[in-house]
Structure 1
Amino acid sequence: MPTTDLALWLLPATLPIALWVSYTDLKYMKIRNKACLAMAAAWAILGWPAVGMELWLWGFAIMAIVLVLGFLGNMAGLFGAGDAKFAAAMAGVFTGGDPWFIAMLYALCSILALIGQRLARALPFVRAMAPDWTSWTSKKFPMGLALSMMLILYLLAAFLPKG
């Protein structure tokens, strides 16, 4: 579980970025480089006071590893380059977290985002509210939605009762 300090420092900065990523991925099927840079900057600026120097530095190492793995996954056609860059940019937030919790949260958010997006695009009144959204007709899935959900829920988990 994340610490309350981590959530208090990072949630105010990362929540608008995550919502922006969700919106642009649903509307355009693109995650903007500016969003990835903003997320990385949030870690660079706020990570140190949130988790301390050692975990903050580890966060950059994890971001680099995720970036390399993300580009390999992109080259293999598993997901888009924007997904890979955003996953890397947000990876520092998970430094020091429980790997099993993080993996389960990723799986849950991926499933919920897929079901939610597919259900929304099947409903005529939803499509009428946003008729120009590329994700309604794309065969691909807007993974930024799942990644953003994962980030937000992870940080919100810090406020759950312990024990």
Structure 2
Amino acid sequence: MLAPGPFVTALAFLLALTPICIWITLTDLRDMKIRNVAVYTMAGIFVVLGLLALPLDVWAWRWLNFVVVFAIGFVLFAYAGFGAGDIKFVSVAALFVSQAEGQISLALICLSVGLIAGLGLHQILKRIPALTRATPDWKSWGAKRTPAGVGLALALWAYLALACVLAV
């Protein structure tokens, strides 16, 4: 079976992951946690949709992304205080990053911008009285640290959206 082109692949991943990115953002704002079930769902999407949308060799090599990011993340978790959920999310998100020329750089740019935007967005949202009154039990409003899942989900979504645009 022939794999679809880069646009169709990126669009399929984008459409499948958009609700997951929203879910991760909301649960991280509410609970300051990225749930394992969200990460497992992302991995399941890659296993099934990836096998349908990518050539088998490309799909297999994407697991190297996961291994490398997970290894780096494990060190950051152990020695720099990064959250375990954040590391699991980034590791699985790496499965969706193409190894084609320029794509890893694009993903890193999206990661940087996404984290900064997520920080800014959280700072703005927690200062909107109507929002905080409507969600008084959300842990992130009073937390000393910013929920990274907001920026991480935004980064993944932006990368996939840009991958669609650049593939056209």
Q: Same fold (TM over 0.5)?
A: yes
Choose which of 105, 108, 111 in structure 1 pairs with 2:110: 105
SS of aligned partner of 1:122: coil
Once the two structures are overlaid, the 10-residue window that deviates more, 67-76 or 111-120, is 67-76
User: Aligned partners of 1:79, 1:145: CA distance in 2, in Å?
Assistant: 15
Measured after TM superposition, the shift of residue 111 of structure 1 is: 0.8
Choose which of 119, 128, 146 in structure 1 pairs with 2:124: 119
Q: 2:86 aligned with 1:80, yes or no?
A: no
User: Aligned partners of 1:3, 1:162: CA distance in 2, in Å?
Assistant: 6
Percent sequence identity is 31
Gapped regions of structure 1 (runs ≥ 5)? none
- Matching residue of 2:55: 52
User: Aligned partners of 1:104, 1:5: CA distance in 2, in Å?
Assistant: 23
Q: 2:24 aligned with 1:11, yes or no?
A: no
- Deviation readout 1:54-94 (Å, 9 max, x if unpaired): 22111112112211211211112342000001111111100
TM-score, normalized by length of structure 2?
Answer: 0.88
Contact kept in structure 1, 2:98 and 2:104, CA below 8 Å: no
Instruction: Report how many aligned residue pairs link the two structures.
Output: 162
Q: RMSD of aligned C-alpha atoms?
A: 1.9
* Residue identity opposite 1:158 in structure 2: A
Gapped regions of structure 2 (runs ≥ 5)? none
Measured after TM superposition, the shift of residue 48 of structure 1 is: 2.4
User: Aligned partners of 1:116, 1:74: CA distance in 2, in Å?
Assistant: 24
- Matching residue of 1:23: 26
User: Aligned partners of 1:36, 1:89: CA distance in 2, in Å?
Assistant: 7
